[in-house]
């Protein structure tokens, strides 16, 4: 599939954690809210878990995109789907049986997402990705907001775009890390559908305006699909 317009998913990692309801309201116009779950084991940082996600789900109508940077997602991911998250993304580096995870997530009513770190290749996981709805290409090392964009991951985005446009995969191509006014165009040009942005949205004086500006930039940088126009 190819989304009609670029999706912008503000990462609440860069928001005020004491005021998350208000912070989501400040980013009006967001397509999804990206929620970074970190366990201090898979990544060297600790953020929030299922109870906070359950509260966020009650506080917004906007779809919640959970990015699980945790060990043993085989055990923990399902809870986020059952809670009502729109999309639940696990890391392929942490998953034992990613196909079973995808099936379980979908059976619980969520979209299934698979993420690859900057150094993880795409090619070994193409068959696995047939079971997934989103591919999250990390463009920073997972763990912290505010890092610099790693452009070396763009060949993986181009390859994923090609696999989707030729019908080999049917998923949303998402990118996460260092997306801002200066980097979003190259990611859009490479074929990204959904852009996570933390510091670029919540570091702005007007997060809602930042969301619109990012979407506009992505839309104008995007190339028409070579194979179909939807
Ligand atoms: C990093 C997280 C990102 C982070 C992005 O591990 O997965 O979602 O919030 O933040 P920025 O957009 O500031 O790079
Ligand atoms: Zn993330």
Beta strand residue intervals within the chain, DSSP E: 7-10, 33-38, 64-69, 87-91, 111-116, 134-138, 172-176, 194-197
Query: How sure is the predictor about 3, in pLDDT bands with cuts at 50, 70 and 90?
Result: confident
Residue 142 placed within a domain:
yes
Residue 158 placed within a domain:
yes
CB distance 175 to 192 below 8 Å: yes
Residue of 9, 10, 11, 202 with the most ligand 1 atoms within 8 Å of its CB, for mutation: 11
CB distance 201 to 10 below 8 Å: yes
Residue 187 placed within a domain:
yes
Active-site residue among 31, 36, 133, 193?
Answer: 36
Tell me if 34 CB under 6 Å of ligand 1.
Answer: yes
Sign of CA dihedral 106, 218, 185, 10: negative
Atom of ligand 1 nearest to the CA of 198: 12
38 alpha carbon – ligand 2 mean position (Å): 9
Residue pLDDT, tens place only, 29-76: 999 999 999 999 999 999 999 999 999 999 999 999 999 999 999 999
Residue 226 placed within a domain:
no
What CA–CA distance (Å, rounded) separates 43 from 91?
11
CB distance 70 to 37 below 8 Å: yes
89 alpha carbon – ligand 2 mean position (Å): 9
Mean per-residue pLDDT of the chain:
96
Tell me if 140 CB under 6 Å of ligand 1.
Answer: yes
Q: At a CB cut-off of 8 Å and minimum separation 6, what does 110 contact? A: 80, 81, 85, 86, 87, 88
Does residue 230 have a pLDDT over 60?
A: no
Residue 52 placed within a domain:
yes
What CA–CA distance (Å, rounded) separates 48 from 46?
7
Query: How sure is the predictor about 224, in pLDDT bands with cuts at 50, 70 and 90?
Result: confident
| Number of structural domains in the chain | 1
Does residue 162 have a pLDDT over 60?
A: yes
Query: How sure is the predictor about 4, in pLDDT bands with cuts at 50, 70 and 90?
Result: confident
Atom of ligand 1 nearest to the CA of 146: 13
What CA–CA distance (Å, rounded) separates 106 from 218?
29
Query: How sure is the predictor about 223, in pLDDT bands with cuts at 50, 70 and 90?
Result: confident
Residue 155 belongs to domain with CATH number: 3.20.20.70
Tell me if 11 CB under 6 Å of ligand 1.
Answer: yes
Task: State which residues form the domain around 88.
Answer: 7-221
Q: Which listed ligand is nearest to 42 at the C-alpha?
A: 1
Does residue 92 have a pLDDT over 60?
A: yes
Does residue 229 have a pLDDT over 70?
A: no
Residue 229 placed within a domain:
no
Residue 192 placed within a domain:
yes
**Known catalytic membership, residue 36:** yes
Atom of ligand 1 nearest to the CA of 34: 8
52 alpha carbon – ligand 1 mean position (Å): 18
Query: How sure is the predictor about 155, in pLDDT bands with cuts at 50, 70 and 90?
Result: very high
CB distance 209 to 203 below 8 Å: no
pLDDT of residue 1: 67
Burial 107-123 (b: 16+ CB within 10 A, else e): ebebbbbbbbbeebebe
CB distance 6 to 188 below 8 Å: yes
**Known catalytic membership, residue 74:** no
Residue 1 placed within a domain:
no
């Amino acid at each position: 599939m190819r989304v009609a317009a670029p999706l912008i998913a503000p990462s609440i990692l860069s928001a005020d954690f004491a005021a998350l309801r208000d912070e989501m309201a400040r980013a009006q116009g967001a397509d999804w809210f990206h929620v970074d779950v970190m366990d201090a084991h898979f990544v060297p940082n600790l953020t929030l878990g299922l109870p906070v996600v359950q509260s966020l789900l009650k506080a917004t109508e906007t779809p919640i995109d959970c990015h699980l940077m945790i060990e043993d997602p085989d055990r923990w991911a399902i809870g986020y789907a059952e809670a009502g998250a729109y999309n639940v993304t696990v890391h392929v580096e942490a998953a034992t049986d990613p196909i079973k995870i995808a099936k379980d997530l979908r059976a619980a009513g969520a979209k299934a997402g698979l993420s690859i770190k900057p150094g993880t290749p795409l090619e070994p996981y193409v068959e696995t990705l047939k079971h997934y709805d989103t591919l999250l290409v990390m463009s920073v090392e997972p763990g912290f907001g505010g890092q610099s964009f790693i452009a070396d991951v763009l060949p993986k985005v181009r390859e994923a775009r090609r696999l989707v446009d030729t019908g080999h995969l049917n998923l949303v191509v998402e990118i996460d890390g260092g997306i801002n006014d200066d980097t979003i165009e190259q990611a859009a040009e490479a074929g990204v559908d959904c852009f996570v942005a933390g510091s670029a949205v919540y570091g702005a004086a007007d997060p809602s305006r930042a969301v619109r500006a990012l979407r506009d930039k992505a839309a104008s940088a995007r190339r028409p699909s070579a194979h179909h126009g939807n």
